[in-house]
Amino acid sequence: MNVLTKIASELFYMIWDIYWGLALGFILSSLIRAFISTESISSRLGKDSISSIGLSTLFGAVSSSCSYAAASMARALMIKGATWSNAVAFMVASTNLVFEIFIVIVSLLGWSFFGGEVIGGIFFIIISAILIRWIFPSKAKEEAKAHIEETEGKKTDDPHAHHMTNSCCEHEMKTDSKNEQTHAPVFKEKLKEASGHFYMDVMMVGKDILIGLVVASILMVLVPEVFWKGLFLTGNSSLPHILVLSWNAVIGVLIAIVAFVCSVGNIVMAAVLWQGGISFGGVIAFILADLVTIPMLMVFRKYYGNKTMWYLLIILVVSIFFTSLFLDYSFEALKWIPKAHNGGMQMANAHFQWNYATWLNIFFIPISLTYFYWGKKSMK
């Protein structure tokens, strides 16, 4: 019973610590998506260039979603003529360069990891664009295009994809219809549309975040610190440093593939791994690897075919690996890596106090719940 109490205590303190950040991030994301038009952006992603990849990254960042929905939206962009490099850039930005993740990273891991996530995400996009150009054969691209054309129009059983495409479009059509019929103020309708995006985002990734929190709580209580230090070769001086860092990058990706927790749930798990002794780059590798989990690979296979799925896996994993090493060495040279593995996950030792997080939660809990139910009502 004592173990269950500790797990519940860890879970409570983690939820309390990140709730306001999640609420703020999702609210900001929903407002950006509602008030910034994406029609003109999607028409400019049909060629590979620095500007188009930058635009894809920006588009993804303002269209924040879970990895499943990001894959669905990237496929929709490709149907409209976007290139593979731009589609991958969109997916990476949509799942890793977004408000809610930034806020939770700062809350649980600190500003160094925020910098690592931003710089690492951009570096990941650049490396993947280069690899797509170098090793992604034209024949595979043509087969993927044929697979898309063959499956387009068929009803999908992917709830994330259905939620992002059909529901979103229906909601926008409904909003436009109401505007024409009632002549309601544009701002009010846009705000209502934003609440609908907020509701959909929470419904899509809420379960993944909760799973991540529960798993992280269990790991913190049940897995001894010596296990993590042994797994990550923490303090090992008999092996070359680059080998230890490479091993941590690989282990970070493998743990992400097995855990298949996406979105903000990954950040909570990443904090546990950092507490256990994984390298700085290994943490970022774990976070970025939510695009290569087993469920995501099945989505890629369904969307583009088996061969393309394997090419995407290779390109993404290699990009993550080099991003991890780049961050380890560059941040070490700049002395930006935290000295101690104390990412703030020792929540059970904390106690309730009247600090900024408490006041922010008192403000955002009722606001977010009201916003959520307004969004739910707007989707009907």
pLDDT tens-digit series, residues 295-332? 788 888 888 888 899 999 999 999 999 999 999 999 99
Model pTM greater than 0.85? no
Where in the sequence is the domain holding 307, given as residue range(s)? 2-378
Q: How confident is the model at residue 353 (pLDDT cuts 50, 70, 90)?
A: low
| pLDDT computed for residue 326 by the predictor | 97
The tokens describing 102, both together, are 């930034």
Buried-state track 315-326, b at ≥16 Cβ within 10 A, e below 16: bbbebbbbbbbb
Backbone dihedral angles phi then psi of residue 55, each to the nearest 5 degrees: -65, -40
Per-residue pLDDT tens digits for 208-237: 778 877 887 888 788 887 888 888 888 777
Is residue 113 pLDDT above 80, yes or no? Answer: yes
Q: How confident is the model at residue 139 (pLDDT cuts 50, 70, 90)?
A: confident
Query: Which residues are CB-neighbours of 40 under 8 A, at least 6 positions away?
Result: none
Residue 94, SS3? helix
Domain total of the chain: 1
